[in-house]
A and B are shown apart, each in its own frame.
Chain A
């Protein structure tokens, strides 16, 4: 299977005149280079300018069809992709598992083949099973696949919008300016084991040269990342991150603190003694935040459990960039949709 494809960039607007990277799918960030991430972030900067206009519409993807295929509930990711497609003038069709043939037992692959047969250009897939986008990418020859979150595996567009937000806030916005993520300390807090956002953020921030520290209960860390675990092979993440279960220590000097959503079911599955103890040890509080850099950014991929992984005053306070993350998400998705969908198929 070829993962790459050359596309021609139509000359529609100076803003969109980015260097297209030869890429057919966005499945994970494991195959992105630092240069490619920087190129996407730079392209998104132009897209964000479009979002700031009175008339938010450019004809970049006119005549192209994008399907958002969601097998899981989602507010921001789905709407974000839909808005991104529409601003670029693509025809966007939203399809969710409920109310579709999936309810009649149609397999993911057959649904994908059906969508391909309708001449769709790009499928944005959200699926509860890790690797689902790979299944489509391996069997559909004529469609680009964008992973909008698969199981515990990856959420690459979320990580890209996270990096964009950090760069936007802490770095220079001049095109061609040096990579402002390099050297930052990024602390990711919470249920890393079950988090596709964390996995993608680790790839992304580490490739951009940040120091990534994970903090949370040892039961919610991938076992190969724990030093105490014996006899298992370490994943590539092990060389990219540090794990420190003591958040008060981990957060010292942090430039970015990212809280992950804690699902309350984890308590019943035995991962945690109680939500109360989780709050005591890992909630992002004013007190803890005081140990980070004064310029620290507080992030959350949403949806939040306010009062559990993050205090309400912080979630809506001056250091929070959680709403900017959402805005930037549209720009990132515009950049990727453009890159994958523009040009002859």
Chain B
């Protein structure tokens, strides 16, 4: 598939890298953005295909700092190929894949393998994240410089936080000259114990072991202190509690190198969903009680947590939205809640979920796009800035979406191998119409109409 020359006419161009939000035309060619703005007829090349973008939003392709593509090792859950198709369908043109693979991404050979797979199989840009410690075991630092040279974009022992505080200190110190962030999944296991959902009302009702908010907040507080002491770059993965937001806000006010992300599900649904009626307030367990697709780590929490996370996202305390796309096979989920694997398949529903916040005016369209593009690009570092820009010369990573199209989530139509989402059957408003990665049309929704070029006279 070659990059093509294509003109998107009359869409609402939202480019947070230039604080741009206005209707205009977009010309893509040779894998780059050639022009964005009002284009006269004379500037449209011959033989160019044209998309009528009226009513659609065009923005830089989304960048996901946190997803699980499961390859190598767990190809029965997801592959780079399927995950990249899911990403393209969800508007993501860059996926940063977590290293909890088998083998884990703790040496250059695995990084090379992922790059090679991505070249052959992926529709979008795949940027691997390397382990902080060898084997993600939390005992010895991984060869972080070798990983950085091989192309990892951040470090994380995702799923398993770096528990040992001294090792975390050393990791932040050692990596401080590499320019990459350490993304820590902050959960103090001595507090979360064997918890499977958020501590609180629904956990008590259903008799499920609860995870206190303090499990997350205690480790974030620890990591912020360590980032301050070492000058290292801390990225806090998937915030989920109201109390985490002021910790990050205060760290930023003190000028520390701390960034944070939040997931679409933590912004839009609550632990009430575990009760089985899609979040309807109820005192009786519903028809889908103990729905294991609501089991995710960190867990879904209460409305007050959701509200605080939205506020933190809107005011910029939280830099970006990451999906934590965690696809699973059916047998990992068709078990009791306690036995079920943690994780939600998110890539294909993220935009529809997030647009709820825009439609309800809790978040502006510009801010939403910013947190999906320039926000994560900033965490990745200076050299990735052009992935989140629509300036001429930037890579033509573009998503075109219809913010008002209503659709019903049907997991049988998912590109991801993971069908594990509590949103099955839910109606979302807003959907991707087309995704371009480096100028190639990698996803085309059924609504997309492309006018073929007129034959030259």
Contact = CB atoms under 8 A, between A and B. Distances in A.
A153 B206 contact: yes
Interface in B203-237: 203-210, 212-213
Contacts of A127: 336
B331 A223 contact: no
Contacts of A151: 207-208, 338
Contacts of A73: none
Contacts of B285: 27-28, 30-31, 134
A232 B336 contact: no
B339 interface: yes
A129 B205 contact: no
B287 interface: yes
A222 B204 CA distance: 6
A317 to B, nearest CB: 32
A119 interface: no
B232 to A, nearest CB: 30
A222 B199 CA distance: 9
Interface string B316-355: 0000000000000001001111110000000000000000
A1 interface: yes
Given A154-B207, A196-B207, A131 B199 contact: no
A152 B208 contact: yes
B289 interface: yes
A178 interface: no
Contacts of A222: 203-204
Given A27-B285, A30-B283, A107-B331, A232 B338 contact: no
Contact of B200 (A108, A196, A199, A233): A233
B400 interface: no
A194 to B, nearest CB: 9
B284 interface: yes
Interface string A73-102: 000000000000000000000000000000
Interface size class of B (residues with CB under 8 A): 35 or more
Nearest to B283: A236
B302 interface: yes
A236 B208 contact: no
Interface in A207-224: 222-224
Contacts, number: 105
B201 A224 contact: yes
B202 interface: yes
Interface string A217-246: 000001111000001111111100000000
A231 B290 contact: no
B22 interface: no
A30 to B, nearest CB: 5
A108 B242 contact: no
B283 A129 contact: no
Contact of A237 (B204, B334, B338): B204
Nearest to B272: A233
Contact of A131 (B210, B304, B336): B336
A135 interface: yes
B334 A109 contact: yes
Nearest to A199: B207
A231 B338 contact: no
A134 B207 contact: no
A117 to B, nearest CB: 17
A290 to B, nearest CB: 33
A236 B243 contact: no
A250 interface: no
Contact of A107 (B201, B290, B334): B334
A130 B213 contact: no
B242 A130 contact: no
A134 B337 CA distance: 10
Contacts of B449: none
Given A131-B206, A224-B200, A231 B335 contact: no
B337 A129 contact: yes
A232 B337 contact: no
A1 B338 CA distance: 22
A17 interface: no
Contacts of B338: 129-131, 151
A257 interface: no
Contacts of A1: 287-288
A172 interface: no
A224 B201 CA distance: 6
B199 A129 contact: no
Given A30-B284, A31-B285, A138-B288, A129 B336 contact: yes
21 contacts: A30-B283, A31-B285, A127-B336, A130-B206, A131-B206, A134-B290, A135-B335, A135-B336, A153-B207, A154-B207, A199-B207, A222-B204, A223-B199, A223-B212, A224-B199, A231-B243, A233-B201, A233-B302, A235-B200, A235-B201, A237-B204
Interface of B: 199-210, 212-213, 242-243, 271, 276, 283-285, 287-290, 302-304, 331, 334-339
Smallest CB-CB A-B distances: 4 pairs: A153-B207, A131-B290, A152-B207, A129-B336
